[in-house]
A and B are shown apart, each in its own frame.
Chain A
Amino acid sequence: MRELICINCPMGCHLKVDDTDKENIIVTGNTCNRGKVYGINEVLHPKRMVTSLVTVIGGEHAVVSCKTKEAIPKELIFDSLEVLKNTKVNAPVSIGDVLVSNILGTGVDVVATSNVKRV
């Protein structure tokens, strides 16, 4: 039995996840179905969206914000940050531009989340 706080929305439901049977995981305490899905995923393969910054060359700002387009396995957070740390992009950058494609072989792209003009 694992106790989790659902993070899908501000409700923050306190979930109880019984994962003794991996084929039939039982979630209680959730208000909606998203909570159930979260509970199961959080036990089987926790994922997180990673948001960070990437260095921009020749832009109005030194950095551009970015995100993994979808959540990636939680254990890859720091490895993905290491990739982002070593990534440099040239201005201009627009929202949605792919900055790193298929990061760490997850199949998930890292995209820009803000616009940086060239100066």
Chain B
Amino acid sequence: MEKKVRLLIVGGGPAGLAAAVEAYDKGERDILILERENKLGGILNQCIHNGFGLHTFNEELTGPEYAQRFIDEVEKRKIAYLLNTTVIEVSDKKCVKALNEGGLLEIQAEAIILSCGCRERPRGAINIAGSRGAGVFSAGTAQKLVNIDGLMPGKEVVILGSGDIGLIMARRMTFEGAKVKAVVELMPYSSGLNRNIVQCLNDFNIPLLFSHTVVEIKGDNRVESVIIAEVDERLNPKMETAQEIKCDTLLLSVGLLPENELARGANVDISRITRGAVVDDRLMTNIDGIFECGNVLHVHDLVDFVSLEAREAGAKAVEYINSKDKNKKYESIAIETDGKVRYVVPELILKNDDSNPLTLKLRVSNVFKKVRLEVSVDNEVIYSRVKQVVAPGEMQTIDLKSEDVLKLRKANSIKVYLRSME
């Protein structure tokens, strides 16, 4: 079955839904969302905790509620979507192959928004030695088992990594009667949100051990204990500090990676740092008409920011579809960073005359206190904000006004960096 669609959206999670709604509101009517699960909403459906939507709706929603708000908007606009449909290939000619129980769909799109989210880093990626039986889960898998399937992964839990999903799962497992013995974090700081450390760990006296890691998993068919140890400054375990914690479950919350396989298949340039696409300020990749937004572009910490970014992508995709000179190539300039600022999205600024305000999103590489976050254009500082503390776990944003955006577009060099105030 071959068909044509003007805007194809891959992934019906928060990013895809917001992109679709915005594209519709910008006048596009020929939109199709492809979703591999049996309902829209993506990973939000399993995030039953509260804390979503403070920015977008000014109220505190749970994940499924937040998703439903957007699903309702999609339904209201009668935007087309297909469930249980897995995209298996996206080509650089914007031809998409997807599978569902009806057969293989081959769809030619004018523009594609990739909004397929991210996945968790598995055990293998972090090299934990030991037995290979049951009882080791990525935190998100455990979350799905508990919250969607109503199944209990274990009773005595150690969590490696203090990412938000790990923290949330510490509380969730506690609520379901499990004993969470410790959350072990390799770094001297958490990559999770403070509110989660307070509400999910401190409230229940769950210890959070910084600069510690799991060096070995014991137990044959199932985890029986883990050996944890402190690490030195170079993150190598100090074996003299090793101690055994009895447990039947180890949850891993050790980072998220954009699901960039489809993008790579379409010859999209992938950033070595974010592992998502390299995009320009329209959120368009190096392949004309292929856009990215949400966690497939870079991993966000708040869904509200995903929705905002996705709206942007939706609007820009419509602009692209409607533009008369689609194939016009603009030169672009890459934003430079100082290493303390680990990355900036978008990385490329087009040398055109679009004067709309622009938001830059970035993450830092370590915890820095008392700094200024600055943007300079040809060595002139055009943006400077004092930050009492910045941490890798917290995405930073820089809102640039129209006149500053125009400066960016004419620049020979753009730098985003942290300046120490001490």
Contact = CB atoms under 8 A, between A and B. Distances in A.
Interface of A: 4-12, 48-53, 55, 61-63, 65-67, 74, 77, 81, 95, 113-115
B150 interface: yes
A80 to B, nearest CB: 10
Contacts of A5: 194-195, 197-198
B68 A8 contact: no
A7 B64 contact: no
Interface stretch (B45-53, B229-237, B286-294): B45-53
A70 B60 CA distance: 10
B234 to A, nearest CB: 28
Contacts of A113: 48, 61-62, 64-65
B52 to A, nearest CB: 10
A65 B62 CA distance: 9
CB-CB nearest 3 A-B residue pairs: A12-B194, A7-B195, A65-B48
B422 interface: no
Given A10-B301, A49-B50, A63 B150 contact: yes
A95 B301 contact: no
Given A65-B48, A113-B65, A10 B193 contact: yes
Nearest to B202: A5
A65 B64 contact: yes
Contact of A9 (B54, B64, B176, B197): B54
Contacts of A114: 45, 48, 62, 64-65, 68
A4 B195 CA distance: 10
Contacts of A8: 54, 195
A7 B199 contact: yes
Contacts of A9: 54, 195
A67 B147 contact: no
B394 interface: yes
Contacts of A50: 175
Contacts of B60: 49
B150 A10 contact: no
Nearest to A68: B50
Contacts of B149: 61-63
Interface in B160-177: 175-176
Contacts of B203: 48, 74, 77
Nearest to B62: A113
A75 to B, nearest CB: 11
B302 interface: yes
A109 to B, nearest CB: 15
Nearest to B149: A62
A106 B149 CA distance: 30
Contacts of A10: 193-195, 301-302, 394
Contacts of A6: 194-195
B360 interface: no
A61 B45 CA distance: 12
Interface in B339-367: none
Contacts of B62: 51, 65, 67, 113-114
Given A9-B54, A10-B301, A10-B302, A51 B198 contact: no
19 contacts: A5-B197, A5-B198, A6-B195, A9-B54, A11-B194, A49-B50, A52-B48, A53-B48, A55-B150, A62-B149, A63-B149, A67-B50, A113-B48, A114-B45, A114-B48, A114-B62, A114-B64, A114-B68, A115-B64
Nearest to A65: B48
The winner among B61, B62, B149, B176 for most chain A CB atoms within 10 A is B62
Given A52-B48, A55-B150, 17 more contacts: A5-B195, A5-B198, A9-B54, A12-B193, A12-B195, A12-B198, A48-B203, A53-B146, A53-B150, A61-B148, A61-B150, A65-B48, A66-B48, A114-B62, A114-B65, A114-B68, A115-B68
A8 B55 CA distance: 11
